[in-house]
């Protein structure tokens, strides 16, 4: 691979002058600039991003941590972030932690080692040591969707409790009274908040919720399928509030198999 010194030798000038041309750090004559550009093309030279970032103290990269890349919600979220960053001259390093706290910690370390300019984090949750790791980060960070306790960072999220309430309220308004809930993992704040919204709507409707109407699942289609199969096996409810889209897909599959 060609180096800046190779470019300088072919152009017949010093490598510091080549550096000035590349970084536009000092005016050079058009003749010199054309020589450098011709040498770059001939040698197929690619400037070192690492060296330039060390000098500029910026890598023009953003690290994005998401818990599940298969989930359409996080796929759409990542696409929106990537599109905006691209328009503003930044690259995105996408890390999918597969809802695994250890994998998330490993990715966090890698991103910090790469000196990313900023972090956007949708946390897996469920790991008491995780928040401490994020709290020690000095890189600018924005937390999305799932709040990190004891971490000082800007937070962008929806009102998950209100969402659970409105979803359940909609089913109640349709006339349902036997409404089950398949919530997400109990260790995530998102799942707890959505379940709380479901419970609030049922309490306002003065409907007692039997324990077997509420099942905790993971945020996957197979998880939703297994939970729905359990609910539909005997004394099935007339409606199910699914904790997220992936759970909902599993519910639809389980219902279809039973001609519901």
Nearest CA-CA partner of 96 in 140, 63, 61, 59? 63
At 194, list the tokens.
């959505």
Instruction: Classify each residue of 112-145 as buried b or exposed e, where b means 16 or more C-beta atoms within 10 Å of its C-beta.
Output: beeebbbbbbbbbbebeebbebbeeeeeebbbbb
> What integer pLDDT is reported at residue 17 of this predicted model?
86
> What integer pLDDT is reported at residue 169 of this predicted model?
98
The values of phi and psi at residue 47, to 5°, are: -60, 145
> What integer pLDDT is reported at residue 183 of this predicted model?
95
pTM score above 0.95: no
Q: What are the residues whose beta carbons fall under 8 Å from the beta carbon of 79, sequence distance 6 or more?
A: none
At 50, list the tokens.
């690492």
**Cα distance between residue 97 and residue 107, in whole Å:** 8
Mind listing the pLDDT tens digit of every residue in the chain (260 residues)? 778 788 888 888 887 888 777 777 788 888 888 888 888 888 787 766 555 555 556 788 999 999 888 888 899 999 999 999 999 999 999 999 888 888 888 898 888 888 899 999 988 766 555 666 777 778 899 989 877 777 788 889 889 999 999 999 999 999 999 999 999 988 888 899 999 999 999 999 999 999 999 999 998 999 999 999 999 998 899 999 999 999 999 999 999 999 99
Residue with tokens 């962008």: 156
**Cα distance between residue 7 and residue 70, in whole Å:** 45
């Amino acid at each position: 691979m060609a180096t800046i010194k190779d470019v300088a030798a072919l152009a017949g000038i010093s490598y510091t002058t080549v550096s000035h041309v590349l970084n536009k750090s000092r005016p050079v004559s058009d003749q010199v600039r054309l020589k450098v550009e011709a040498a770059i093309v001939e040698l197929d030279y690619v400037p070192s991003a690492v060296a330039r970032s060390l000098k500029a103290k910026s890598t023009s990269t953003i690290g994005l941590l998401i818990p599940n890349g298969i989930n359409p919600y996080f796929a759409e979220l990542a696409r929106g972030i990537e599109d905006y960053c691209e328009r503003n001259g930044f690259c995105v390093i996408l890390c999918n932690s597969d809802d695994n706290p250890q994998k998330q910690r490993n990715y966090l370390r890698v991103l910090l080692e790469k000196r990313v300019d900023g972090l956007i984090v949708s946390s897996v949750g469920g790991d008491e040591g995780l928040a401490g790791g994020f709290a020690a980060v000095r890189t600018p960070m924005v937390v999305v969707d799932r709040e990190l306790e004891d971490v000082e960072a800007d937070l962008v999220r929806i009102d998950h409790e209100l969402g659970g309430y409105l979803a359940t309220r909609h089913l109640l308004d349709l006339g349902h009274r036997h409404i089950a809930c398949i919530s997400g993992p109990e260790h995530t704040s998102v799942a707890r908040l959505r379940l709380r919204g479901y419970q609030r709507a049922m309490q306002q409707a003065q409907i007692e919720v039997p324990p077997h109407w509420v099942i905790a699942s993971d945020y996957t289609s197979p998880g939703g399928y297994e939970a729905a199969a359990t609910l539909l096996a005997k004394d099935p409810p007339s409606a199910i509030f699914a904790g997220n889209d992936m759970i909902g897909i599993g519910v639809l599959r389980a219902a279809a198999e039973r001609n519901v």
